Amino acid sequence: MPKSVVGSVLFFGLIAAYASPAFAHAALLDADPAPNSTVAAPKSFKLTFSEKIVPAFSGFGLAMDGGRSMSVPSKVSADGKTMTGTPKGSLPPGAYKLSWHAASVEDGHRTESAYSFKVK
C-alpha cells in the first residue's frame, strides 16, 4: 500500500477518534423500574443517562396495553443526568410501555427509546 494512502488512513482515523466524543448521545445507563420487570405499582420512574440532558427537550410517555396513555410529568436532577417522572395517579395492574426521549446538553442530539414492564 502506498505511504500516502497509509498516512491518509491514519490521519482520518485519528480525527475520527478525537471527534467521536463530540458526536456522542445521552445513553441510558439505568432504569427503575427495570425493562421487562414485574413490579408493584411504581410511584415514579427514574432514568439515568451517560451525560447531562436538557430538561426542556426530555421527557416520558406511558401507555398501558390496549393503548390507554397517561401523563407523566418529569424533572431532571441537579447533576443533569437523571430524569424522574411521576405518574398522575396509581397504576392499575397490567402491562405498560414506558417511552422516553432525552436531548444531550453536549451536542443537542435527541435520543429516544421505550421498554416494557408489568405492574402486579
In the beta sheet, which residues pair with residue 60?
100
Q: What single letter denotes the amino acid at residue 114?
A: A
Task: Name the stretches of the chain with pLDDT < 70.
Answer: 1-24
Please tell me the distance from the alpha carbon of residue 40 to that of residue 120, in angstroms, as a whole number: 6
The CATH number that applies at residue 104 is 2.60.40.1220
Within a domain: residue 17? no
pLDDT at residue 51, rounded to an integer: 96
pLDDT at residue 23, rounded to an integer: 53
Cell 410529568 sits at which residue? 73
Q: Under a CB-based contact definition with an 8 Å cutoff, are residues 74 and 87 in contact?
A: no
Within a domain: residue 94? yes
pLDDT at residue 2, rounded to an integer: 61
pLDDT at residue 11, rounded to an integer: 47
The pTM score is 0.78
